Chain A
Amino acid sequence: MTKRFWRQGEPFVWATGLALSLILFLTLLLFYVVMANGLAVFWPKKVALATLQDGRSLLGEIVQEEIIPHTDKKRLQFKIGNRDLYGFDFKWVDASEITSLTYPKDVHVLERQEYGNFYGYLSEFEVKGIAPPVSGSNSLAQTIAALEDRKVEVHLLGKKIANLNRRVELIDHHLAKARYNKEENTPALAAMQGEKQGLKTEFEALVSILSEKSAALATNQAIFTDANGRTKAVALPNIVRAYQPNNMSFFAKCTYYLERLRELLFDEPRESNTEGGLFPAIFGTVMLIFLMSILSFPLGVLAGIYLREYAKDGWLVKMVRIAVNNLAGIPSIVYGIFGLGFFVYGIGGGIDQLFFPERLPAPTFGTGGILWTSLTLGLLTVPVVIVATEEALGSIPPGIREGSQALAATKLQTLTRILLPMASPGILTGFILAMARAAGEVAPLMITGVVKLAPALPLDGVFPFLHLDRKFMHLGFHIYDIGFQSPNVEAAKPMVYVTTLLLILIVLAMTSTAIHLRNKMRQRHSVADV
């Protein structure tokens, strides 16, 4: 009996089960870590006031606690913020040093434009031009709200200046072109010079107004004290958001969470990408996938149709098939190098010589940009699309083709009315899977045009609207950049988790759509087979 148990191999069956459980466990663990860390980032954490044995105290969020290695003592890590006062954001404190741990209701947390968070107590206001705030629990919020109009005004002024700047730049390009073409003293040139001069005076006037207004705005201050009574004046316009986490209701916390989510999806990043929103990165990712699809989908489908329906089967087609399959297996970084050498330096450099010689040696297209990146990713996905198209067309029973042609339909009619509709779910599945892969691909982007902070989106309201030569931001690269290249990795971690979560969600949505489509296709096919 026992011998049989082992000889029949029943334990091995269980061992295979163990392998599967391990795989599933790892997958779930991975998702759990991303979800747990990513979703909790925006939930307002309570701020603790720890009084230490030497009489000092510190304010901060408790980030983690652990046992000190080789002892049985505990220690706590606080996020103490106030980088401009202390020089660092995080601090480890031995649990034995803490005499009391309380959560005072009147602690304010400020998210600021620079130097990260501030934790402290509000003591007084120094404001000009608005009604002095009434004291009360939400006096800070009211004062900030009262300044909102003037903040918007300054913001709009800044935008106007940026716009002017861009117009001057455009004129400069025209002038450089004229100089290159040896045009001199033409009336058009003089007009442009005049316009530039006018814009410049306007620009300078606006800049002086802006600096005056923002200086006036910055004189509105609130004085805060930290845990040990050190005072710090914070300019009110520098406060992005202020809240009192120990005094928030559940509903208020939810509102706060939604507000942070809105900021994440629609705002620009702050503080070298570790705070603020992800809008440019999301936009860049989506636009990249979009451009890549426009480039690779038609080409891949065309080649697939040719290979399966039009090409005569022979050794040549076989070789091509092997080559295409091999291409699908080439590491993505190799495509990146190819994109850099061929697209950026080769084609881009050629375009610069032909069309923008006046700007040389500053490159226009001869440097990384969204066009070259999407072309590179397109190349990466073309073999996958070719294979998917071929397989989808190949899985249609030949009887259907013959039936259609027996009814005197031409090859084109068979293709467009019968074969393509039947194959479309298969093609789409392959294509969406390729898109999902491309969305998560970072290595080739790094060398063909992605940057950590792009000054402008590749699509905007300035002629010619679509700027394919611009560099762009990308969620995947954002993860790599703020997680590994940022000066303060510990402070950047929450943002990395959020970015990761977002990227995973995008990829998951695409993959699930593909899987759903395939399931539908299977049902349809089973009908067709009958």
Chain B
Amino acid sequence: MPKLDKQFIKKVRRQDRFATRAITVGGLLVIASVIAILVLIVRVTLPLFQPAGAEISHRLTVKSGTAPVLAVGMDDTQEVGFTLDTTGLFSFYDLASGKPFFTAPASTRKATVQSVESNKNNVFALLWEDNSVTVSQVDFRLLYDDSGLRTVQPEISQLGDYPPRSYPAPVKSMMVRSHEGRLTQVALLADNRFQIDHEVATTNILGDEKKEAFSFLLNEELPGPITAFTLDEQGSALFAGTGAGSLLRWDLGENESAERTDNVVAVAGDKPVTALAMVFGDISVAVGGADGSLATWSQIWTGEGDDRVRRLRKTHTLTSHQAPVERIIPSRRSKSLVSLGADGKTHFDHMTSEKHLLNLDPALTMAGISGQGNGLIGLDSKNTLTVWNVDSPHPEISLKTLFGKVWYESYDKPEYVWQSSSASDDFEPKLSLVPLLFGTIKGTLYAMIFAVPLAIFGAVYTSQFSTAGFKKTVKPVVEIMASIPSVVIGFLIALWLAPIVEKAILAVILGVLLLPLIFVTIMAVLRPFYKTPTLQNFCSGHEFLLLVPVIFLAGALAMGIAPFVEQLLFAGDFKQWLYNDLGLRYDQRNCIIIAFGLGIAVIPIIFSITEDAISNIPPSLTAASLALGASRWQTIWRVVLPSASPGIFAAIMIGFGRAVGETMIVLMATGNTPILDWSIFNGMRTLSANIAVEP
């Protein structure tokens, strides 16, 4: 017996140990990373629902002894903050060091500022004590030095200066809005009436500037003392709240007219409206009441036909304060708003999602939101400026906006809408997933209705009735069919099939109806002969070949009679008839096309898994059934299919999964319209296509 080489055995053992370790470590790593992917995918979606957080990033004391502050704000990078006080002085502070580094007066006039209004571009309209107005803009310029270091350079520019006006009675308070060369002033007089002044500067094509001004008194009986009022930016709508909780609205026209459109109770229990502010976008108005309630109202179309009018309705109710709402400060870039309560609590809410983002304690007298919406600056009664870094990445997303009906601005009623972007920046993102889920289910469902019976029946035939040789050729053919890239199917059905179907939609529908009809007729004709040996010999295993002409016959017949049927039943135009009589619009890229395309994509998968499941049924079962005198169909229906049902169910589910996730076909062959409509003549937008469309 030859001796084993010890060295060799050692080497082999060493190699083996090494390989075991390497494979174990490597395998575990691969599997761990594969599973980590599952975890990561879940983790990415979680921040969407995280509650907002805020931490104080800077705190500084502004110069004591100065005049009361009317407005605060900061730049987008949160490096420079500013205050505007009653002397009309802008004071800028370096937030990091807390040092004041720049002051500038809004106007050279020495007077006291009554009130200040600001809009999205840091434009401030200052109303002086003598009722004159100055419009100033604060700009932050980003400067980069040679080493790439960034500094923020604040600048103040004066956009306009308007002389004082005369009023019939003392002015109690005034509101000024300035927007692209037009100035609107609304003064609440001591006798509880409004005086409205417009000034519009227009430039004609020759470049001459023309100024138009008009002024009028709103001479009508008001239902109560006005406690708060606000204007939209263009000066075309005036909102006022009364001491009895009513919200009034006027349309201010270009000429000297004002029409009162609404008078609704906005605060319950006869309590006064204490704060009003336009939400960014100028469609909704936020109303704060003495009972601490906070809600947004906007004009909604109501009524039917000619009576359709726009009326104020409460669209969103936000989290209430415990004390009267003193002041509402809307964000200048989103639908968020900050509200200050009389008890010193500060709330940060988002209108669309009605999400209560933050609840801050310090008793603020004034607050501002940074442009990006990620910073909050507030001034308290002790003249301390505090800056919060707000961490609320997706304030507009909540379970309710994703899956519930939401009352979006300019919509008649709460609805499910997906519209993630728009040309204007004051747009309200509408992020309901319901239309996308609906589209996914709709497309998949119609596809499954088309694919499942075909695939299962085809698989039954292949595994049970066809010849062994044929079975060997069909399986690879189906596998090849499964490997057709979905982009190819998508292209073919969208650019080749869809125009054909559009032209011959009626023929397609007729064909689908005629095929079973012709089939049954042929069966009836065949019935007397089916036991004859010639037919048995020839047909057994080749039935499907005999049936190919049936398909062509049905197709040809459908095409042939379609024009006559169209003339006879649908007044010559089927699509027109659909629209007029059933109210269905026909889209070229519709559900029929999708059902066909997705069907072709999933048929091979369902087919091959079903075929495997059926073929794995032990032949003894079939043999026993046949031996007991059951016919071949009875055997299939009562014995084989029940036994194979788990496999068939799995096949359907896997096909369903593929249809749900299929992207290219739906991307190419649906119109990608996120609508909620079961009609087979419409398109839809699915979740997967949405992923591909949105970035």
Contact = CB atoms under 8 A, between A and B. Distances in A.
Interface of A: 2, 5, 8-27, 30, 33-34, 37, 66, 69-70, 299-300, 302-303, 305-307, 309-311, 320, 323-324, 326-327, 329-334, 336-338, 341-342, 379, 382-383, 386, 410-413, 415, 433, 436-437, 439-443, 446-447, 476-477, 479-480, 483-484, 489, 493, 496, 500, 503-504, 507-508, 510-512, 515
A500 B476 contact: no
A334 to B, nearest CB: 7
A37 B488 CA distance: 13
28 contacts: A2-B527, A9-B636, A14-B519, A19-B456, A20-B544, A21-B548, A30-B489, A300-B30, A303-B30, A303-B34, A306-B27, A306-B30, A311-B27, A324-B34, A332-B663, A333-B691, A341-B44, A410-B13, A411-B19, A442-B664, A476-B487, A476-B664, A480-B490, A496-B495, A500-B488, A503-B485, A512-B480, A515-B480
A443 B465 contact: no
Nearest to B460: A16
Contacts of A477: 487
B27 A303 contact: yes
Nearest to B549: A21
Nearest to B662: A331
A21 B522 CA distance: 16
B149 interface: no
A332 B491 CA distance: 18
Contact of A515 (B12, B454, B476, B490): B476
B30 A382 contact: yes
B631 A10 contact: yes
Interface residues of B, number: 91
Given A333-B661, A382-B34, A442-B487, A306 B26 contact: yes
A184 to B, nearest CB: 12
B457 interface: yes
A345 B492 CA distance: 34
B19 A25 contact: no
Given A34-B492, A410-B15, A323 B487 contact: no
Nearest to B566: A70
Chain A: interface secondary structure?
helix
Contacts of B632: 9, 13
B603 interface: yes
Interface string B483-518: 111111111101110000001000000000001000
A327 B485 contact: no
Contacts of A16: 457-458, 460-461, 465
Contact of A12 (B455, B637, B662, B692): B637
A2 B527 CA distance: 7
Interface in B562-593: 572-573
Given A9-B637, A386-B34, A412-B15, 19 more contacts: A14-B519, A17-B546, A19-B457, A20-B458, A70-B572, A303-B26, A305-B27, A306-B23, A309-B23, A311-B27, A327-B37, A331-B657, A334-B41, A337-B691, A379-B34, A437-B483, A477-B487, A500-B491, A512-B476
A20 B30 contact: no
A21 B458 CA distance: 8
Given A307-B31, A479-B488, A489-B495, A27 B550 contact: no
A333 to B, nearest CB: 4
A412 to B, nearest CB: 4
B545 A21 contact: yes
B454 A504 contact: no
Contacts of A27: 477, 481
B30 A17 contact: no
Interface in B327-348: none
Given A13-B633, A306-B28, A18 B519 contact: yes
Interface centre among A10, A19, A500 (most CB of B within 10 A): A19
Contacts of B607: 23
Interface string B515-531: 10001100100010010
A386 B35 CA distance: 13
Contact of A23 (B573, B603, B661): B603
A139 to B, nearest CB: 40
B431 interface: no
Chain B: interface secondary structure?
helix
Given A306-B27, A338-B37, A447-B692, A5 B530 contact: yes
B44 to A, nearest CB: 6
Nearest to B653: A329
A13 B27 contact: no
A496 B634 contact: no
Given A10-B633, A333-B663, A30 B458 contact: no
A332 B691 CA distance: 11
Contact of B35 (A8, A69, A323, A489): A323
A310 B26 contact: no
A20 B16 CA distance: 52
A20 B28 contact: no
A25 B491 contact: no
A504 B31 CA distance: 33
B625 to A, nearest CB: 13
Nearest to B490: A480
A512 B23 CA distance: 32
B485 A442 contact: yes
A503 B488 contact: yes
A20 B457 contact: yes
Interface centre among A11, A415, A437 (most CB of B within 10 A): A11
B522 to A, nearest CB: 8
B24 A306 contact: yes
B492 A500 contact: yes
B31 A17 contact: no
B453 A332 contact: no
A501 to B, nearest CB: 9
Contacts of B474: 20, 24
A33 B496 contact: yes
